[in-house]
Amino acid sequence: MSRETEFLFQTNQTRVRRTRVGFLKKNGETILVYPGTYFENINYNGKNITVASLYLTTQDYSYVHSTIIDGNQNGSVVIFVNGESSNAVLCGFTIQNGSGYSFGSSSIGGGIYCKEVNPTIKNCIIKENAAGSGGGICCRLSIISLSDVIIKNNYVII
């Protein structure tokens, strides 16, 4: 476990999330997220941090189903585009309802978009996202580590 652990709660989630992520200045820090549906889009902004549900600490797979990051059809749900390494970890979430990162007249990476990065994604479900390319995940010039990830029911918009 990292030196500092942050907890996010569903109540007043937007204010808490923006405050906590803003304070994460050191690589290796961890954000633990309680179960709930969070209508958010996450950009790691070059920080090699871990964002995880309580699955990380309990190994209870029910937290993967009950801790949902819902992109609300407002771009890619999770973005890694600022040189993140394999120490940028996303763990234990359902990622859904992403619409992709704007790319010219189209969109790419409905659920997760990676460009020139090497993140680690584990114990996640990526579902019901859509984009012009890579409905579930789109990786450009990236090497990502996927472990125990289910990618299902994502769509490419033609």
How many structural domains are present in the chain?
Answer: 1
pLDDT at residue number 113: 97
Sign of CA dihedral 60, 119, 36, 13: positive
What does pTM read for this prediction? 0.86
pLDDT at residue number 23: 52
Domain containing 32 equals 5-156
With beta carbons less than 8 A apart as the criterion, state whether 115 and 141 touch. yes
- Helix H or strand E encompassing 121: strand 120-122
If you search the block for the tokens 């569903």, which residue do you land on? 10
User: Digits of tens for pLDDT over the chain (158 positions)?
Assistant: 333 444 454 333 444 444 344 455 578 888 889 999 999 999 999 999 999 999 999 999 999 999 999 999 999 999 999 999 999 999 999 999 999 998 888 999 999 999 999 999 999 999 999 999 999 999 999 999 999 999 999 999 98
Residues near 101 by beta carbon (within 8 Å), at least 6 away in sequence? 75, 76, 79, 107, 108, 109, 113, 131, 138
